[in-house]
Amino acid sequence: MIRIGVILILLVAGFAAFGQQQNQFTQFGNAKLFYNPAIAASEDNFSVTLRHRNQWSGLQGAPTGQTILISLPNIYESVSLGVTASRNTVGISQRNDVSGIYAYQLKFLNTKLQLGLLANYRQFINDFTDERLIALDGFDLDSAIEQNQFSKNLFNVGAGIHIENEKYYAGLSIPRLVQSDIDFETDQRQSRESRILYAMFGLNIDLGDTWTFNQHSLLKISEAAPTDLDLQGIFIYEDQAHLGLNLRSGGSQNSFLESIGILLGFRFTPTLMAMMSYDFSTTELRDYENGSFEILLRYDLKTNKAPKNIQNPRYY
């Protein structure tokens, strides 16, 4: 019975974390490509972003996630390509994602409109051979539980739209348009991928010669989970030091506010930036976990768009 209880706890945690089939990340403002493929056209440079999150630290089997985001310089001044990859685990469940991105950009005066498409491969794994599935009372393995690893591979497509200028940005995206069957048993059709709508909005406000304020908002609307809203504000000093606050709602039925996050970052060079965050839970989970940690590294190789000076060595 204890073994069954442990398994049920891990599975319930998995359903809670995978209910939206997409993990939470606090530093979404510096990794928008993860949510909207159209962002690839707006960056117009070679960019690599690495991100790791340890959610609900101290709680065994809690979600963890890693992502890598790659965007390439624009092709023909309007077309961009990108790649995203992620690995997310919770309990005995694991999900691996790889997406290829195509984005197109249109310019209207000082405003840019981007359209993006993505093709996505996902792998779902449930590992019932995990060593953490042990009997706390020393009993042998439960014969009713099949000691095996189950996996399923899925393909999907998504789309996004994004508009921006120097003062604001806004975007809408649905990374997975097809509601694929995610049951491991071939004769079951009870579990399907949920379509998730991401709505993003942000402002860039100059506060003087040395300070800038960036505001980011992320709204997540799912067909099978509560609506989540992140509101984030970051103060930036001389484009180097970053200090911000993130408020998240929607994760609990008993509390409007799910968590409060603190963000701290620094740009070491014009091409390299690092940021970390810590989330304090405001729900019932705060009695069982030690908060959520996240770290992000971003490398931007700016391309030189200025005309090249050509010297002719010949003399007349």
Whether the pLDDT of residue 136 is over 90: the answer is no
pLDDT at 15 over 60: no
Going 223 to 30 to 216 to 89, the CA torsion angle's sign is: positive
Helix, strand or coil, per DSSP, at residue 131: coil
Q: How far apart are CA 246 and CA 279, in angstroms?
A: 8
Band of residue 252 on the pLDDT scale cut at 50, 70, 90: low
Say how far apart CA 126 and CA 135 lie, in whole Å: 19
Which stretches does DSSP call E strand in the chain? 46-54, 64-71, 79-90, 93-108, 111-127, 149-164, 168-174, 196-206, 211-222, 228-237, 241-249, 257-267, 272-281, 292-301
CA 99 to chain centre: 13
CA angle 67, 73, 79 (to 5 degrees): 100
pLDDT tens readout for residues 174-190: 999 988 776 666 555 56
Backbone angles phi, psi at 137, to 5 degrees: -95, 5
Residue 221, strand partner residues: 197
| One-letter amino acid of 34 | F
Q: What is the pTM of this model?
A: 0.81
What CATH number matches the domain at 2-301, 3.20.10.10, 2.40.160.40, 1.10.340.30, 3.40.50.2020? Answer: 2.40.160.40
- C-alpha dihedral over 127, 54, 199, 233, to 10 degrees? 180
Question: Residue 162 pairs with which residues in a beta bridge?
Answer: 114, 171
Helix (H/G/I), strand (E/B), else coil: 167: coil
Asked if 243 contacts 266 with a C-beta cutoff of 8 angstroms, the reply is no
Of 96-105, 223-232, 250-259, the least confident: 250-259
What percent of the chain has pLDDT above 70?
Answer: 77
pLDDT on residue 315: 31
pLDDT tier for residue 2 given thresholds of 50, 70 and 90: very low
Confidence of residue 133 (pLDDT cuts 50, 70, 90): low
pLDDT of 41 reads 84
Is the predicted pLDDT of residue 213 greater than 90, yes or no?
yes
- Tell me which residue of 84, 83, 79, 82 sits closest to 114, measured CA to CA: 79
